[in-house]
């Protein structure tokens, strides 16, 4: 049975049982505890937490998930993936243990010809929480599973919670016996390779405190309603139903391995364990990377972007180690998207971006590998010069951590060079880094934001947003919240959260900042500083009571600051115009990656490799302003999501849209986007758009910033005044300023070049003086002095070589230091005769470096370094003299 069919049967089974089918959420959700969605229940958290009342009593979904707890271990086992699909059914106070067990048992044992999975009931084992005998009794009664195939386990294995205070409950897991060829008998407590877990049923009934029942601590109470959260591993069920050995041989994963065999010339599963791991890394990471990019993640140096970067780089290095000599990423992304698109059509529609981002990161990493190879060669030379046969763990770690050079390549290349690597030292440094990362993650982890105080208001009184058609709305105060608690009233001077039944004030979302304004009544005035949404339907007005006393139930007038709103709509509509202009000039791959707009200003992030030329930037600005001049009407309408997509409306990556969406259209096909923001009536109201600049905000993501409306006019006026001021200073017309400035720059460059010649000549003329001042340390002539301030490292090298040459053939060492803009470059040169006595420049650099708080290295004849402490220039020559004396004994 194919994986797509396994998904379909699961959803059909639960829909027929009265569940509402809910689409998979994006892998990126606004959750303080998660980088990525890692379980099917994540999008339902507000319902399980009791913060919102669910719109249905039962739901089912197949959620795309990513878990990245220890990426380095992927591929070493054959049953874990970073990306996986979790099929789940959920009950919010409807059925409980018996209902969940019955529904699961029916699906897995029902014959395939009747729509089930057809698993042999005699090979099914279950586990239950050691303090939950009720679950075991239900399994015996409903499924007829005998006592010998029911095993009890402690909280570590069979209790679930989110890792923070909140809901939790005992679990019951379903396992399938794969047979004696896969391991020992005795059930899952003995061997979880033979007895493979395919389904976990969580009976969510408890509220946990700071300490988890998983570790033996009792819950602090019971939930108001008993809920069900189950998850079936789609890939694991596919493994069993397809009769293959592991998840990497299932129908959606094995084709990636076959493509890797084709591209590398190596073969999978022919007795080479290390190569098998590399094939599995490629297959796993290629799927995960494609899904993350499809949901809007871009490679970067922290957070989600760093995870994606690591995945892509591990693919490249694994392919290289398997024998690939050419780029591979395009081929891998193609096969992944072809295989997965039937269940995730966004992979097909977004393929060009997925491929471009992945290929761009591959190209960047290949350059990193080249740089790392050169640094590796330097480390090898240093080791050989020092008579060592082992590269230190710190050198291997620096190559890995600072330059992205993978340890397995370091090991392989060191072996080819006849050296070994201090792997224990490397692993120790890696462990320290992981520990720091875990500590940082733990410090940032927090309990899920508590919105319980708003639950009653969410259930009964959602806010009606009236701001699309009016700036002033009569409203009633539904609730007041202060310091997380409902209060009946608030007096002058207090900060308060005000919930209204109707509001014209826009709540921050979609990149548009919240409106400011006032809430007034007779003798009452509140200044609204911010507006946020809870549950997408309750407006929280954060305000200061300026006059009077506000009470719950009062009738008030909510007012938007008209100047703020005018500027905000200009900024938001201007963002849509810039987006459309970018796509017109650069093509459809210029996809939105984020935005911010406020009165008079906008910034727009988009996916793109490489900077934009001045000519392209001017073209984008011109296309944008042509749309302003065209005075396109701005039309908005609501429709369902499939209809909006079929019309070509653009959606923001990572955003979860409801069944009904709002479309904002400007100029027909020129711009059409899903957007809940406020906008101008026609594009001419945006006013002039002045692009301020374009820059990088991460790998594959660029940012355009612009002024609109009056702010744009003021910016242009300042630019004009500046140009006129420069023209006056140069005694020329504004039109002639560029040519005059260019001529002045050329004259300045020529003068600097001439000055540099004189400076270099003067510096080199000091070589004779320095050589003549050489002192003797044993049988070695030594020059150890500070050069004039401002001498660069390159000039120090040239000068040191010149002085060394002037000292003739007898043993000689030259050490020169300088200061340049707070740095202390230093160079040491030793001639052949000195080296024969055991004096090596690289060793002397390391001896001198601590005096100037620096580091350095190099070869035996010439080495250099840099420090940060200029005070050490006085003591460094003394350290060098001592090191020369010790080496020459």
Residue ranges of the binding site: 572, 576, 675, 679
Task: Identify the bridge partners of residue 858 per DSSP, sorted by sequence position.
Answer: 863
Per-residue tokens: 327:
């780029």
Task: Identify the bridge partners of residue 558 per DSSP, sorted by sequence position.
Answer: 473, 519
- 144, 152, 135: which is closest to 230 by C-alpha? 135
User: Cα–Cα distance between 25 and 656 in angstroms, integer?
Assistant: 7
User: Cα–Cα distance between 466 and 506 in angstroms, integer?
Assistant: 9
Alpha helices in 139-249 (DSSP H): 155-158, 234-241
Q: Quote the distance between the C-alpha of residue 259 and its chain's center.
A: 27
User: Cα–Cα distance between 196 and 207 in angstroms, integer?
Assistant: 30
User: Cα–Cα distance between 226 and 249 in angstroms, integer?
Assistant: 39
User: Is residue 43 within 8 Å of 30, Cβ to Cβ?
Assistant: no
Q: Quote the distance between the C-alpha of residue 829 and its chain's center.
A: 46
Binding site for Zn(2+): residue ranges?
572, 576, 675, 679
DSSP 659: S
Per-residue tokens: 852:
């100037």
Per-residue tokens: 831:
């001639």
Contacts of 22 (CB under 8 A, 6+ apart): 43, 59, 60, 61
- 682, 704, 703: which is closest to 569 by C-alpha? 682
DSSP 143: I
3-class secondary structure, 733: coil
Tallying the residues shown for the chain, one arrives at 889
Q: Between β-strands 524-534 and 485-487, what pairing exists: parallel, antiparallel or unpaired?
A: unpaired
DSSP per residue over 789-801, as a string?
Answer: TT--HHHHHHHHH
Go through 311-336 and write b for each residue having 16 or more CB atoms within 10 A of its CB, e for each that does not: bbbbbbbbbbbbebeeebbebbbebb
* Sign of the Cα pseudo-torsion (148, 150, 155, 157, in order): positive
User: Is residue 685 within 8 Å of 570, Cβ to Cβ?
Assistant: yes
DSSP per residue over 598-609, as a string?
Answer: ETTEEEEEEE-S
User: Is residue 806 within 8 Å of 771, Cβ to Cβ?
Assistant: yes
CA 176-18-241 angle, to 5 degrees, is 25
What beta strand segments (E) does 738-887 contain?
Answer: 775-777, 780-786, 812-817, 824-830, 855-858, 862-867
User: Cα–Cα distance between 441 and 302 in angstroms, integer?
Assistant: 12
User: Cα–Cα distance between 765 and 376 in angstroms, integer?
Assistant: 37
Contacts of 641 (CB under 8 A, 6+ apart): 657, 658, 659, 660, 661
* Sign of the Cα pseudo-torsion (818, 823, 824, 830, in order): negative
Per-residue tokens: 446:
């927090």
SS (H, E, C) 693-724: EEEEEECCEEEEEEEEHHHHHHHHHHHHHHHH
User: Cα–Cα distance between 699 and 309 in angstroms, integer?
Assistant: 9
- 185, 103, 108: which is closest to 149 by C-alpha? 185
Go through 234-268 and write b for each residue having 16 or more CB atoms within 10 A of its CB, e for each that does not: bbbbbbbbeebebbbbbbbbbebbebbeebbebeb
């Amino acid at each position: 049975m194919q994986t797509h069919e396994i998904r379909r049967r699961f959803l059909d089974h639960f829909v027929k049982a009265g569940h509402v089918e809910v689409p998979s959420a994006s892998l990126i959700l606004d959750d303080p505890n998660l980088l990525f969605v890692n379980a099917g229940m994540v999008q339902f958290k507000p319902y399980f937490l009791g913060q919102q009342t669910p719109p249905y009593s039962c739901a089912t979904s197949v959620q795309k998930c990513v878990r990245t707890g220890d990426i380095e271990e992927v591929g070493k086992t054959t049953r874990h993936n970073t990306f996986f699909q979790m099929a789940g059914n959920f009950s919010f106070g409807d059925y409980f243990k018996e209902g969940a067990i019955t529904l699961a048992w029916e699906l897995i044992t029902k014959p395939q010809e009747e729509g089930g999975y057809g698993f042999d009931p005699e090979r099914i084992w279950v586990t239950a929480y050691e303090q939950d005998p009720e679950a075991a009794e239900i399994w015996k009664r409903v499924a007829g599973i005998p006592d010998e195939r029911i095993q009890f386990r402690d909280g570590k294995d069979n209790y679930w919670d989110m890792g923070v205070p909140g809901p939790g409950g005992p679990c019951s897991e379903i396992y399938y016996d794969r047979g004696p060829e896969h391991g020992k008998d005795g059930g899952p407590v003995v061997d979880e390779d033979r007895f493979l877990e395919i389904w976990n049923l969580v009976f969510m009934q408890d509220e946990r405190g700071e300490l988890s029942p998983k570790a033996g601590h009792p819950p602090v109470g019971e939930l108001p309603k008993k809920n069900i959260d189950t998850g079936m591993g789609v890939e694991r069920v596919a493994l069993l139903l397809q009769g293959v050995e592991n998840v990497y041989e299932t129908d959606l994963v094995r084709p990636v391995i076959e493509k890797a065999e084709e591209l590398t010339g190596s073969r999978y599963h022919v007795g080479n364990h290390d190569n098998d791991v590399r094939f599995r890394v490629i297959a796993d990471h290629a799927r995960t990377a494609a899904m993350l990019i499809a949901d809007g993640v871009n490679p970067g140096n922290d957070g989600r972007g760093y995870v994606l970067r690591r995945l892509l780089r591990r693919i490249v290095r694994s392919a290289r180690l398997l024998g690939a000599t050419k780029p591979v990423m395009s081929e891998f992304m193609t096969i992944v998207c072809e295989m997965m698109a039937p269940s995730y059509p966004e992979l097909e529609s977004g393929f060009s971006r997925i491929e471009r981002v992945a290929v761009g990161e591959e190209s960047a990493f290949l350059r990193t590998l080249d740089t790392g190879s050169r640094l590796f060669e330097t480390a090898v030379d240093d080791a050989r010069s020092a008579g060592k046969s082992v590269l230190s763990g710190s050198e291997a770690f620096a190559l890995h951590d600072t330059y992205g050079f993978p340890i397995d390549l370091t090991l392989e290349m060191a072996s080819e060079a006849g050296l070994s690597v201090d792997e224990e030292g490397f692993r120790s440094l890696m462990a320290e880094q992981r520990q720091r990362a875990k500590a940082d993650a733990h410090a940032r982890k927090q309990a899920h934001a508590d919105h319980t105080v708003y639950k009653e208001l969410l259930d009964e009184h959602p806010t009606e947003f009236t701001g699309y058609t009016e700036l002033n709305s009569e409203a009633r105060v539904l609730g007041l919240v202060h310091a997380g608690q409902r209060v009946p009233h608030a007096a002058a001077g207090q900060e308060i959260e005000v919930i209204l039944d109707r509001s014209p004030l826009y709540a921050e979302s979609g990149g548009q900042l919240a409106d400011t304004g006032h809430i007034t009544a007779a003798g009452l005035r509140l200044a609204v500083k911010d507006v946020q949404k809870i549950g997408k339907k309750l407006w929280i007005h954060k305000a200061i009571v300026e006059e009077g006393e506000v009470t719950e139930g009062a009738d008030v007038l909510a007012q938007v600051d008209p100047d703020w709103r005018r500027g905000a709509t200009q900024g938001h509509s201007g963002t849509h115009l810039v987006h459309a202009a970018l796509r017109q000039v650069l093509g459809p791959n210029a996809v939105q990656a984020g935005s911010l707009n406020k009165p008079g200003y906008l910034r727009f992030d988009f996916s793109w490799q490489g900077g934009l030329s001045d000519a392209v930037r001017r073209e984008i600005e011109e296309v944008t302003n042509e749309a302003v001049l065209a005075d396109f009407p701005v039309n908005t309408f609501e429709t369902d999501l499939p209809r909006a997509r079929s019309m070509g409306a653009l959606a923001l990556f990572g955003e979860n849209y409801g069944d009904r969406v709002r479309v904002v259209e400007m100029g027909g096909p020129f711009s059409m986007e899903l957007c809940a923001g406020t906008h101008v009536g026609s594009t001419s109201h945006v006013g002039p758009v002045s692009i301020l600049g374009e820059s990088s905000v991460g790998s594959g993501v660029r940012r355009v910033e612009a002024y609109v409306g009056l702010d744009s006019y003021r910016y242009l006026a300042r630019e004009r005044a500046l140009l006129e001021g420069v023209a006056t200073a140069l005694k020329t017309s504004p039109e002639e300023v560029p040519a005059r400035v260019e001529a002045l720059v050329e004259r300045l460059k020529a003068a600097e070049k001439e000055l540099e010649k004189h400076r270099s000549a003067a510096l080199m003329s000091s070589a004779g003086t320095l050589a003549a001042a050489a002192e003797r340390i044993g049988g070695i002539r030594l020059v150890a002095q500070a050069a004039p301030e401002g001498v660069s490292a390159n000039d120090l090298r040239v000068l040191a070589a010149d002085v060394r040459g002037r000292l003739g053939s007898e043993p000689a060492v030259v050490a020169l230091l300088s200061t340049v803009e707070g740095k202390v470059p230093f160079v040491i040169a030793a001639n052949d005769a000195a080296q024969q006595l055991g004096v090596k420049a690289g060793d002397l650099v390391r001896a001198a470096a601590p005096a100037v708080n620096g580091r350095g290295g190099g070869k035996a004849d010439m080495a250099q370094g840099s420090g940060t402490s200029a005070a050490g220039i006085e003591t460094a020559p003394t350290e060098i003299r001592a090191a020369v004396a010790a080496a020459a004994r």
